[in-house]
Each structure stands twice: as C-alpha cells, then as structure tokens.
Homo-oligomer: A and B are copies of this chain.
Amino acid sequence: MDLGDRVLVERNGISYEGVLMPSRRADHVVIKLKNGYNIGLKARESDIKLIEKGKEIKSQQLDRPLKDKPGLPPVSILSTGGTIASKVDYRTGAVTSQFSAGEIITAIPELEEIANYRARVIYQILSENMRSDYWTALARSVAEEIERGAEGVVITHGTDTMMYTAAALSFMLKTPVPVVLVGSQRSSDRPSSDASMNAVCAATVATSDIAEVSVVMHGTTNDDYCTIHRGTRVRKMHTSRRDAFQTINQHPLGRVDYLSRKVETYLPFCHRGEVEMELNERLEPRCSLVKYTPGSSPEILHYYIDKGYRGVVLEGTGLGHVASDWIEGIGRAKEENIPVVVTSQCLRGRICDRVYDTGRDMLDAGAIEGGDMLPEVALVKLMWVLANNPEEVVTLMKTSLAGEISHSIPITV
C-alpha cells in the first residue's frame, strides 16, 4: 500500500477508515479520518486492508509572489507554527506545521484586500514547545517589523500556549500599532476549519486603531464574528471548540464582523500612535506556577526554593488559599527574597486574602495578592518583573502594567 491510499485498519474490534499517511514509527500507521483528524494506531501490515488506491493529485501552487496594491497599509505576518500554519499535502492528506506566512496569504485570497504583507517564518514548532527565550526572540522580531514600518503585525501561533505568548508580548512591548496573535483549532483541510476566518479577522484588527497586543479568534461556533481579546486577559477554555478562547474577568476588547469586517470595541483601548515603541524583552525563566490541591505537601514549595527558582505563583483555592502547613514555606521564600504571588484556580474573580484567617496568615508570611490576574498571566508577568525591575516586584505585581489587573472593586460584587 502507498501513502494516500484509502484503507481500513482493524484494532481491538474497532475499524478505522481513512487515508494512509506518513508515520514516523515502523510499528504505527497514521490515517486521516473522515472528520479530518489524523489518528495513530499500533498495527501490523496485516491489520491494514486496502479500500481504494489514492489518486495522484498535483500539489496546488501556493507560492505565487505577493504583489503590493496601492493604498493598503503594510502589515507583517510572522509565523511560529501551529495548526493555522499547517499545510496539507494534497497527495497524502497529511497535515504538517510547515506552512509559511507567505503561503498563508496566498491560500486565503481575501487577505489581499486588507493589507500589503511582508511575511517571515520565525519558528516552525508546535506551541506546547514554546518557552520564554522564544518569546524574547519573537518580541524582537515584532519590534523589528514595527521599526521597518509595519502598521500592524499578525503572529500565527499554535493555540495551546497562545495565551502565554500573548501575555509575554503584552509586558515586553509598548506598541504604537496593533500586534495580533491568531491561530486555528481545526486545520485548513477540514470543512469546519476556522483558519481563514480567523486570519481575515486578525488582519482586519492589524489595520485597525487598536494598538495593543491582542488575540483574535472565533467568537462563536458559527462563522459570524471573531472576538478581540486583550493579550493579558485571554485563556483557552476548551480543548477543541472553535470559540475556545475567552476573555476572563473583563469584557473583551471588541469584535470583528467577518463579512463586513467592521470592528466594534467594548472597552477603552490604546490607540494607534498613542505610545512610542518600547521593547523590554528580558525574562527571568526560573519562575514556577504551582497549583495547590488538598493535602499536597508543602515540600513542593521548598523544592522550588531549593532549586534556585526566583519566583513562584501559587494557584490557590477560592479567594487565594493554601493549607496552613504551606505558610512556613511562604515565609521561607520571603526570607530568601523569592516572591510568592497568589492567584486562584477558580480563574474568575479576585484574590482577597484579608477575609479568612488562612489568607491573613499567608499575607503575614509575605504572600503577594494577585488581584484578578489569571494564574498563567501572573507567571509570565513575574518572569518579566523579576528581569526588569526586581526591586519593585511587590508593587508591580499588584499594579496593572498591561491591562492584566482591574482596579480593585469591592469584593461584594
């Protein structure tokens, strides 16, 4: 059998039908199912039955050169990998993460009506492999594009860790133009793909007046509009839905209607040209997010201190609690000049450690209240503050630097 053939694979009494695709392991077959997903199965050659030979289909020409149209603003597209940058091999049906930014533009003709593009491939990785030094390099690339005259920047990114990257760029960059992260939950070969609409809406925001780091993704499961999320307030809240991204503890920045390309905003935002570009891209990677669970050992906190971590974000329960036996560790961290920031595994709502005894003891030991910051955003912010202004860490962690904390409202709300 050849790649591209339609096959039936039997495993433990279940039959899988699909197109045979390249596999990286000899003992595995990978087939593309009807729903567009690839599935890897441990199978021997004898488990595979041929249904139909694959047809030879010529690969579509994707690399036609970009032509500038007069009157359209210059926008840079930086690709980092992920599903939105996945390219379908038309012979095998395989999806790979090697679709360059230039190819994205030529594959989605509507984009050409919105802007003139400069495209760069920054990374070709699955976003679970992102890390802080990549964020730093990416921020430098964004700054370069802005300095070269880009009036907007679109970053294509895997959805898994897009919220972390968005937060990192939000702290590292002050930007006079829109910086928009976009991804897709379904690859472009699937009927339900969100890649085109998300890309078109992202380009629209990149040419708008919203000069902030934002995430633009499907607003509903329909193809009606995309939501514009502030980079420090957004979270992936579903593993597979197209409207997985949600703004937490605030209204979204706004939305883009897909057909009319009209941008509506719901919040005050930073306007185009309002600030000069400023890049502070250093991060302290030795920070950790620790999720507290009932009965978990306080030794876990001591482990991070012993290992030389420079900061810890606790994801506590409710208003921001850990068990009483963790408080000694918080005190030790304080003595060793390691900030411990408290956030909540509830995700929604505000930390308040002055209400109950445990919280007050945590504050006495030196814990820093994270306000209504998302735990993941608090982690990225702590990395940034420790690298850029370690003397002011307590004050800065409680102050909104990029829209990540709301003014404290009475907890009765």
A132 at interface by CB-CB < 8 Å: yes
The answer on a CB contact under 8 Å between A295 and B291 is: no
Q: A239-B351, A348-B238, A349-B241 are in contact. Are A316 and B128 (CB under 8 A)?
A: yes
- Name A107-144 residues within 8 Å CB distance of B: 126-133
> A346–B132 contact, CB under 8 A?
no
Number of interface residues of A (CB under 8 A): 78
Collect the chain B residues with CB atoms within 8 Å of residue A388's CB. Answer: none
Asked if A285 is an interface residue, CB under 8 A from chain B, the answer is: yes
Contact among B128, B133, B307, B319 with A358 in the assembled complex (CB-CB below 8 Å): B128
Q: From B165, B349, B379, give the contact of A244 (CB < 8 A).
A: B349
Contact yes or no, A239 B350, CB < 8 A: yes
B346 touches A237 (CB 8 A): yes
A128 touches B35 (CB 8 A): no
Which A316-363 residues sit within 8 Å CB-CB of chain B?
316-324, 344-352, 354-358, 360, 363
Question: Which residues of chain B come closer than 8 Å to A238, judged between CB atoms?
Answer: 346, 348-349
A376 at interface (Cβ–Cβ under 8 A)? yes
Residues of B within 8 Å of A315, CB to CB, are: 291
Shortest CB distance A386–B (Å): 14
Q: Name the prevailing secondary structure of the A interface residues.
A: loop
- The contact string, 1 if C-beta is below 8 Å from chain B, for chain A 262-293, is 00000000000000000000000100111111
In the complex, chain B residues whose CB is within 8 Å of the CB of A401: none
Q: For A290, give the chain B residue with the smallest CB separation.
A: B291
A192 at the interface (CB under 8 A from B): yes
Structural contact, A360 and B40, CB atoms closer than 8 A: yes
Check A12 for interface membership: any CB of B closer than 8 A: no
A365 to chain B, nearest CB (A): 12
Chain B: which residue is nearest A412 at the CB level? B35
Chain B CB within 10 A, most for which of A299, A315, A344, A412: A412
**Docked-complex contact A410 and B35, CB < 8 angstroms:** yes
9-residue interface stretch from A45-53, A156-164, A392-400: A156-164
A132, B294: Cβ atoms closer than 8 Å: yes
Given contacts A236-B346, A350-B240, contact A411 B293 (CB under 8 A): no
Please name all residues of chain B whose beta carbon is closer than 8 Å to the beta carbon of A165 when the two chains form the complex. 294
B residues in contact with A36, CB < 8 Å:
412
Q: How far is the CB of A289 from chain B (nearest CB, A)?
A: 5
Does B411 contact A320, Cβ atoms closer than 8 Å?
A: no
Chain A, 362-413, CB within 8 A of any chain B CB? 363-364, 376, 379, 410-413
- A318 adjacent to B131 (CB under 8 Å): no
Q: Is the CB of B239 within 8 A of A348?
A: yes
Contact flag A37-B412 (CB < 8 Å), given A161-B317, A317-B160 = yes
What are 8 A-B contacts defined by CB distance under 8 Å? Answer: A25-B364, A129-B323, A131-B323, A160-B318, A236-B317, A236-B345, A285-B295, A293-B379
The 9 closest A-B pairs by CB, nearest first: A131-B295, A239-B349, A160-B318, A160-B317, A128-B321, A238-B348, A238-B349, A35-B412, A40-B360
By a beta-carbon cutoff of 8 Å, the part of chain A in contact with chain B is 24-25, 28, 35-40, 126-133, 158-161, 164-165, 192, 236-241, 244, 285, 288-296, 299-300, 303, 307, 315-324, 344-352, 354-358, 360, 363-364, 376, 379, 410-413
